[in-house]
Amino acid sequence: MRQIKTFSFAAAGLLLLSGCSGFVDTDSVSMMAPKGNAFQNALHQEYVDLAVAEKKEDDGDDAKYFIAKAKSAAMGESVGPQPLEERAIPDDTKGDLAKARLQLVNKLWKGATEVTPAAAARAQAMFDCWMQEQEENNQPAHIAACRAEYDKAYALLGTPAPMVKKEVVAEKKMVKLPFPYHVYFATDSTDLDGAAMTVIKQAFADFNLHKPTTVELSGHTDTVGNAKYNEGLARHRAVAVRNELIKLGMLRKTVVRHSFGETKPAVATGDNTEEEFNRVVKITFKR
């Protein structure tokens, strides 16, 4: 049984696992200094724990998936529970998972991330854990353990006290839009991998929920190569993200593109320096 499924998550356990399955790097994301709110910071650690567990079982794809979500949470980005359609869930279990996800998202959007951030992060991560184990569908004890931990965390979720109708209307006008989303790219590439598509799909789902007036895409590169070339590379990256959002159903007129190349890096570096956080297209909602 996976160590992660015992739900001890001791910090010492992470060190013991660091030498396993070297083809997946969990150390870098584990050592990131979280920049988000309390929920995002807790979510970062929850996904690191899941990634370490999948790495120990030599499940590279799921380890990389959880690494990507841990990285996004650490960067202060909006990260939601995984959509059901992204996994091949057995038909006889889809109902329970769909109901659980609907209930969870409802709690998260109603303020559970602010009122009970640690429990909200735990519930979201354990829902993703439950989904991942249910897709594999070959270890009933692991499925049951993830589901039990999800149920336990969900029971702890709190939301702000309801306001009178007049106050609710006023509050809706001040609802904050989600944090910017970050779509990362490989060096000198405009290809969108699985992690990038997950972010794009999440951004589109949140777009439908919040209905912003404008969606701004800003393309960036690291400082490797010629500055003029990098400006073009950043533009093509922004175009790639825009095209996927349009395929999902976003109107072209809603999307505004900007290309900054290497001129506005997320992480300050010297010239000719590879930096993964600077190879990015940022998606920002505007009213």
Task: Determine the pLDDT at residue 164.
Answer: 54
Q: Are 68 and 25 in contact (CB under 8 A)?
A: no
Q: Where are the domains of the chain?
A: 3-154, 181-286
Average pLDDT, rounded, for the chain = 86
Q: What is the mean pLDDT of residues 145-165?
A: 86
- Taking each helix axis from N to C terminus, what angle separates 117-136 and 60-74, rounded to the nearest 10 degrees? 160
Task: Determine the pLDDT at residue 180.
Answer: 84
pTM: 0.59
Residue 172 clears pLDDT 60, i.e. is over it: no
265-279 pLDDT tens trace: 877 889 999 988 899
Of 12-26, 53-67, 272-286, least confident by mean pLDDT is 12-26
Q: From 3.40.50.2300, 3.30.1330.60, 3.50.50.60, 3.40.50.720, which CATH number describes the 181-286 domain? A: 3.30.1330.60
Q: Which two tokens stand for residue 133?
A: 């184990």
238-262 pLDDT tens trace: 999 999 999 999 999 999 999 999 9
User: What's the pLDDT band for 83 if we cut at 50, 70, 90?
Assistant: confident
Q: Are 49 and 2 in contact (CB under 8 A)?
A: no
Nearest C-alpha neighbor of 176 from the set 37, 39, 285:
285
